[in-house]
Structure 1
Amino acid sequence: MRWFQLDPGYWLYFAADWCRDELVGTRTGAVGIVFFELFAELWYWLLVGALLSALASHYLPRSRLGSLLSRHRAGSVVGASLLGLLSPLCTFAAIPLVSRVLRSGVPAPPLMAFLFTSPLMNPALFAYTYGALGLEMATARTVTALSIGLAVGLGTHLLQGRGLLALDLLPPDAMPAVAGGSGNLSGVGEPTLARRFARDLAFICRWFTLGVFIASLTATFLSPGLIRSLLGAGSHWSVPAAVALGVPLYACGGGAIPVVETMIRLGMTPGAALAFFIAGPATKFHTVGTLAAVFGRRVLVWYLVVMISGALAWGYLYPFSDNLQVRHRDPFVSSAER
């Protein structure tokens, strides 16, 4: 066996060529070609992202995150926002942690900054975004996440000063049991780095495979004209439409990236893509339900207002350059033309 045959990308491109030869002219073949070629382009970023996620989980476990968030110091909102960018926790898992630390007497502004920043960016998401959409989009997602965290910290301070956000008065029994996010700060029974890597890789592979499959269906059954009319530069409603699409379509950060990459190639504007990336994780149903149960309706409304308005604002402000270029070649070009 030659060395290049050990590369999974070789076999993925081989599968794409098989679909092209054996299923020529069929919708099934078209879906298979896009699926295998897109997976071949991005598979190694799964490994990079899973490794970064495992490292972040290993060196920033809940116990250390809780300790860092509990420190009182100047610039705590800035520090909490930066910590949210590094945290491997999604909102669903961060909610119980923030609730426990809040009830221990830590001020709410930095905790809210951390909670709002966490779902928008982490090291693994940065790697996935960089691999699929390039450095500019990865940087844009990081900048927007940080700006939202800082705005939330300041806004929470102002709202608390006017008595509109009584976060410090949460009852101790307000926190329901959350799978994967019980808020245990003891750090007992933490898995090894290798087990974290295997677990994170298995998790993201499931969602990423689903995302690539949805992207393949999108490329096959949706015309570029339809995408451009709804999400393209000629549509005044491209950003609000992307925010609305984020509610039903966004399931996992890694799984959403192949879908967005495909829609950008079909005509979606970079601003609409960024708005989708902000609104999607904020409006997942289980996150919204848990947030309301733990912190109450006022915090939920505050959360949704900030996230949706932030998605709209940044969607219209972005891109920072004239055109966003995806990192890889067009997946709809046959391998014979590569």
Structure 2
Amino acid sequence: MPSDLLLLLYGFITLLIQIAPWWLAGLLAGSLISVYLSDRIVSSVTVLRQGQFGLITLTGAALLGIASPLCLFGTIPLVAALGRKGVPQDILVAFMISSIMLNPNLLIFSFVLGVPLALARFTVSLAAGVLAGLLTRLFLSRQQLFRFDQFEPAQQKKKTLWRDFGKGLRITAPYLALGILLTALFDLYVPASLVGRLFGANKGLGILLAASLSIPTYVCGGGTVPLLSSWLEAGMSMGSAIAFMVAGPATKLTNLGAVKIVLGLRHFILYLSYCLFFAILAGFLADWIA
């Protein structure tokens, strides 16, 4: 047992040294955007309108969603404020979906998984928002999707770079530590061949399993990066990783209540169905391309 504890401690410290620079860089980038560019992002979304370049505006909205450093509990009140300013629903959907999938902090942190997978995560998160916005425009344009009555504008404290950075540290550090600990335990006790069989050998089953597994296990994006890194080294396919990274943030248990409030039950079911279907589809496409 003492030897196991030493190996566990060694694994934890090794993973922390490998991951910490990317985590800190992501937090710093997110804080810089939050403090100095948030107002510009909001104003950019506000001026987007439907027109002959509709797909371009949806792409712009999705890009701005990814650029927003807010978590879902910050994104939904922001979407409510934008809706009150007359921003069309399809643009709000594109912004919200991509913002839920990815933010600057997590994008930079994802480079721990390798450049190809980080870029794939960006592309898939962008496509998820654009496609959701397009489907909203084509099939739901005459329906009222959002219910903003419970989201009144809140007075926010003036942000400073280091205050925002410190807040990010306090929020994400426990989840990162938990993720690294679970990864160290996984590396110590779970055979790599098992991961290869579950998530690599049978890619179709692996994608479905990864999407399903993300629902109860995805608590914080940063906390899952060490686990994904270890699983990929053990034989997880890129498609399974993509399915996990898409379904996880979309179905994170701490977020679903807020999404249901703002969408209502019927549209909430559509949201869940779309996100899970897109996660599986993106996973199959990623494995097919790879």
Do they superpose with TM above 0.5? yes
Unmatched 5+ stretches in structure 1 = 1-21, 176-181, 323-338
Per-residue deviation, 1:155: 0.5
| Residue 108 (structure 1) aligns with | 89
Q: Retained in 2: the 8 A contact 1:231–1:237? A: yes
Q: TM-score, normalised by structure 1?
A: 0.78
The alpha-carbon deviation at position 235 of structure 1 amounts to 4.8
Runs (4+) off by over 3 Å: 63-66, 72-75, 319-322
User: Which structure has the highest helix share of the two?
Assistant: 2
Identity of aligned residues (%): 33
Amino acid at match of 1:166: Q
Tell me, yes or no, if structure 1 residue 166 matches structure 2 residue 147. no
- Larger deviation, residues 252-261 vs 295-304: 295-304
- Which runs of no fewer than 5 residues in structure 2 stay unpaired? none
Q: 1:290, 1:119 → 2: CA distance?
A: 12
User: CA-to-partner distance for each residue in 1:159-203, whole Å, 9 max, x for gaps?
Assistant: 224x4x4226x3x5333xxxxxx753x6x5322112112221232
The alpha-carbon deviation at position 217 of structure 1 amounts to: 1.4
Bigger shift: 72-81 or 38-47? 72-81
Indicate the residue corresponding to 1:233 in structure 2: 201
Match status 1:49 vs 2:26: yes
Q: Confirm or deny that 1:270 pairs with 2:238.
A: yes
Q: How many Å apart are 1:277 and its aligned residue?
A: 0.5
Match of 2:261 in 1: 293
Residues 21-72 of structure 1 deviation map (CA, whole Å, 9 limit, x = unaligned): x943x3x2332221111111111112211111101111233x5443332214
- Asked if the contact 2:219–2:254 (Cα under 8 Å) also holds between the matched residues in 1, the reply is no
Select which of 123, 142, 149 maps to 1:143: 123
Amino acid of the structure 2 residue aligned with 1:30? L
* Structure 1 residues 249 and 207: alpha-carbon distance in aligned structure 2, compared to 1, 3 A threshold: same
Query: How far apart are the structure 2 equivalents of 1:124 and 1:235?
Result: 29
Aligned 8 A contact 2:110 2:118 in 1: yes
1:121 paired residue number: 102
Distance 1:60-1:306 versus aligned 2 partners, 3 A rule: farther
Q: Match of 1:33, as an amino acid? A: Y
Residues 147-296 of structure 1 correspond to what in structure 2 (within 5 A)?
147-161=127-141, 163=142, 165-167=143-145, 170=147, 173-175=149-151, 183-184=153-154, 189-296=157-264
Q: Are 2:10 and 1:33 aligned?
A: yes
Larger radius of gyration: 1
- The one-letter code matched in structure 1 to 2:77 is P
1:321 positional shift: 6.6
Q: Conserved in 2, the CA contact under 8 Å of 1:92 and 1:286? A: no
What is the CA-CA distance between 1:122 and the residue it aligns to? 1.9
The answer to whether the Cα contact below 8 Å between 2:32 and 2:161 also exists between their aligned partners in 1 is yes
Q: Deviations over 1:87-108 (max 9, x none)?
A: 1012232112112321332210
Q: CA deviation at 1:307?
A: 1.2
Give the aligned CA root-mean-square deviation in angstroms: 2.1
Q: 1:243 to 1:218 in 2, by over 3 A?
A: same
Letter of the structure 2 residue corresponding to residue 57 of structure 1? S
1:214 counterpart letter in structure 2: L
C-alpha distance in structure 2 between counterparts of 1:247 and 1:47, whole Å? 26
TM-score normalized by the length of structure 2:
0.91
Q: Deviations over 1:192-232 (max 9, x none)?
A: 11211222123222211111011111112222222122212
